[in-house]
Structure 1
Amino acid sequence: MPAHILVVEDEEPIANILRFALEREGYRVSCAYDGAEALERWRALQPDLILLDVMLPEVDGFDVLRAIRQASGVPVIILTAKDDEVDKVLGLELGADDYVTKPFSTRELVARVKANLRRASDVLREHRENERYVVQDLVIDLAEYTVTKGGQPIPLTHREFQVLAVLAAHPGRVFTRDQLVDQVWGTDYVGDTRAVDVTIRRLREKLEPDPSQPRYVLTRRGVGYYVRNE
């Protein structure tokens, strides 16, 4: 069955352009035109990917993203104003997987959609010979797509899960930002490698008793990130 994409865009002409471009690629597409409707349709439809404009009436795109990330790791691509770095950074901090700036070409947007859908399960496929990794009292279960700490579930976005799984698969190995981008975001990712730092910070906030003194995901200054091999 083709992937189902939810387009959240308050300008109906733009939403229709996106719908047409995505349906032409064979995707199933649903649309929502404000934040409240977006949350209703997300809960009802459980789409495979969401295209989310950050400037929405009723409930803005950032609040929509916050609500989604409390319950789901569905890939989310935010649509932001051209060169609005604040929106890009905030979106990534809230758990967006990617962003596209307006005005954009539908060709670029479709390519981003394909890349994010393809990567959503890449970590599981790449490490399918191992069903779980254990890092101290963390258990990363690839089959269930879950992380527990001391037996208690830790809710992660799918991007956070992917980064942690890559690091846990190679304990003690230091990954540079560029290597993590290639492994998780993909070699066709054209965004900023600061997305890695944002994801690591969010992981530490969720996993570490004291994020300023991490025990699980560590930094090798000037090089990159790794997990303890003990």
Structure 2
Amino acid sequence: MPRTILIVDDDPHIRQLLVFAFGKAGLDTVEAGDGEAALAAVRTQQPDLVVLDINMPRMDGLEVCRRLRAQGDVPIFFLSSRDDEIDRVLGIELGADDYVVKPFSPREVVARSMAILRRTAGKPPAVEKAVTLRHGELMLDPDAWTATWRDTSVSLTVTEFTILRTLVSMPARIFSRDMIIDRLHGPGFAITDRTIDSHVRNLRRKFAEAGCADIVETRAGVGYRLGNCTGAAP
């Protein structure tokens, strides 16, 4: 079935450009001109992805993201009209999966959105259920996209889950930020190292709240490695 994209921007011209671009890619679209309309559309339309402008009147995209994250895990892709890294990093820390800065290429927005949707869908098992990944007290179910530490379920965004699954797949290996970006988006994809750092901070915060303070290790100047996942502070 076609996937549905909710496009949220107070500029009707931008919405029109994205509706056309997503339509060419075979995706259905729903539009919202402000934050309140976006929240209503998520409730009624249940989109597979929200493309969300940060700088909107009445209720900006950051507040919409906060409210959506309080309700569920629908993937969020930010459109940033501000050339200010703080806004974009804050968006990632609130739970967004990716972002682009205006002016942008509609084709790039579609390509990045398709990458998020592929990660959301996962790879269907050929014959049997995918192997559950375990390390210490951590358990990942790649089919259900669920993460559990001891008996506590930890709610992760698609990007956070993919990063954690990458680390769990080779727990002894140190992954550079570029290697993690390649796992998320494919080689040559341009996002900043600070974006990866923000996602890792989110992972640490969420697992610390569940009682696990050693989910990810930082190797200074190199990258990240899976922690012991025993709950002890590193």
Q: Calculate the TM-score normalised by the size of structure 2.
A: 0.87
CA–CA distance in 2 between the matches of 1:124 and 1:157? Answer: 19
CA RMSD of aligned residues (A): 2.5
> Equivalent residue for 1:120?
120
The Cα shift of 1:99 comes to 1.1
The Cα shift of 1:107 comes to 2.5
Contact 1:72/1:157, CA 8 A, preserved across alignment: no
CA–CA distance in 2 between the matches of 1:114 and 1:188? Answer: 16
CA–CA distance in 2 between the matches of 1:109 and 1:158? Answer: 17
CA–CA distance in 2 between the matches of 1:108 and 1:209? Answer: 35
Structure 1: unaligned runs, 5 residues or longer: none
Q: Deviations over 1:150-174 (max 9, x none)?
A: 2111111111111111111111211
Residue type matched to 2:217 in 1? L
Residue type matched to 1:135 in 2? H
Q: Secondary structure at the match of 2:175?
A: coil
1:227 counterpart = 2:226: yes
Which stretch shows the higher mean deviation, 106-115 or 170-179? 106-115
Residue type matched to 1:218 in 2? E
> Equivalent residue for 1:52?
52
Summarize the alignment of residues 61-210 of structure 1 with structure 2, pairs less than 5 Å apart.
61-122=61-122, 130-208=130-208
Residue type matched to 2:22 in 1? L
The Cα shift of 1:129 comes to 6.9
Q: Secondary structure at the match of 1:57?
A: coil
Which stretch shows the higher mean deviation, 50-59 or 173-182? 50-59
Structure 2: unaligned runs, 5 residues or longer: 230-234
Identity, in percent, stands at 40
The Cα shift of 1:214 comes to 4.1
Aligned residue pairs, count: 228
CA–CA distance in 1 between the matches of 2:111 and 2:154? Answer: 31
Give the direction of change, closer, same or farther, for the CA distance of 1:49–1:9 in structure 2 (3 Å limit): same
CA–CA distance in 2 between the matches of 1:216 and 1:172? Answer: 13
Residue type matched to 1:41 in 2? A
Contact 1:123/1:162, CA 8 A, preserved across alignment: no
Summarize the alignment of residues 207-218 of structure 1 with structure 2, pairs less than 5 Å apart.
207-208=207-208, 214-218=213-217
Give the direction of change, closer, same or farther, for the CA distance of 1:143–1:113 in structure 2 (3 Å limit): closer
Contact 1:172/1:229, CA 8 A, preserved across alignment: no
The Cα shift of 1:82 comes to 4.8
Q: Secondary structure at the match of 1:50?
A: strand
Q: Calculate the TM-score normalised by the size of structure 1.
A: 0.88
Q: Deviations over 1:172-227 (max 9, x none)?
A: 2111111111112332421112211111111111112699x942211122211112
